[in-house]
Amino acid sequence: MNDRDVRRRHPPLGRSLRADGIAFAANRGERFRFTSRRQEWLNVARLLVQSGDFIAMALYRLRGAIHNAGVPILPTALRELCAWMFKARIGDLVVIEPGVYVPHGAITIEGEASIGAGCVITPWVTIRPRDREAHGPTIEPAVFIGSHSTIIGRVTIGKDTQIGAGAVVETDVPAGSVAAGVPARIIATGMPSRFLLGANDANVTPIVAPTDAASPGPEQRWTR
């Protein structure tokens, strides 16, 4: 993947921040149903004041937008700042779709990796290519990745999958599965898609978020 391809894949800054804001609010047990862009931006502003975790994600989003504009040096400085302040090390070739929840920072994502909307990445997770390779994992939407787990290589983690804490994943995991262990193995399959939970449910994450999105809004599709 060349520099131009990376720029093309980074989602728009505003849409990403608003979607991330809904994901963070939902997982934090806060109000997450909004009817206007203004409400979504107010939620973003609130999280920037209250949540260091959200600031780390916002810095990644800002870095992507600056990189898209072709500005040199500053994206690298923001990457190092995020790693230093929040222990969130996210490589230049990583593409994270809007609406991802990363509580507490402390993650490492490197290589040509992609993270789908609605994912939850808990602390001390590592997502990276194999040694001397560039292509990293593809994480499809609505995947929960438990703490201290590692996903290595050019593998695909299917949507609605759960990766157990401490797992080491080096092969594809089909959608709707639960994988755990070292090395990880499938311990459950056929997990149902997780949509339409009540506003008071814990650990609720929107699949899509902004009010101007072409697909169904956050009040229509949710995952836990």
> Structural domain boundaries of the chain?
1-87, 106-192
| Residue 4 reports pLDDT greater than 90 | no
Please tell me the least confidently modeled range out of 31-40, 82-91, 152-161, 213-222. Answer: 213-222
What pTM value is reported for the model?
A: 0.83
Q: Which helix (H) or strand (E) segment is 25 a member of?
A: helix 13-27
User: Does an H or E element contain 52, and which?
Assistant: helix 52-68
Residue 120 pLDDT exceeds 50 = yes
Q: Write the single-letter amino acid at 101.
A: Y
6: pLDDT confidence band, cut at 50, 70 and 90? low
CATH of 106-192, one of 2.60.40.10, 2.160.10.10, 3.40.50.2300, 3.40.50.300: 2.160.10.10
Note whether 48 and 55 are within 8 A (CB): yes
Model pLDDT, residue 10? 81
CA distance 209 to 220: 10
What Cα–Cα distance (Å) separates residue 125 from each residue in 66, 187, 200? Answer: 26, 20, 27
Strand arrangement of the beta sheet that strand 185-188 belongs to: 120-121, 144-145, 162-163, 178-180, 185-188
Please state the rounded mean pLDDT for residues 201-219: 40
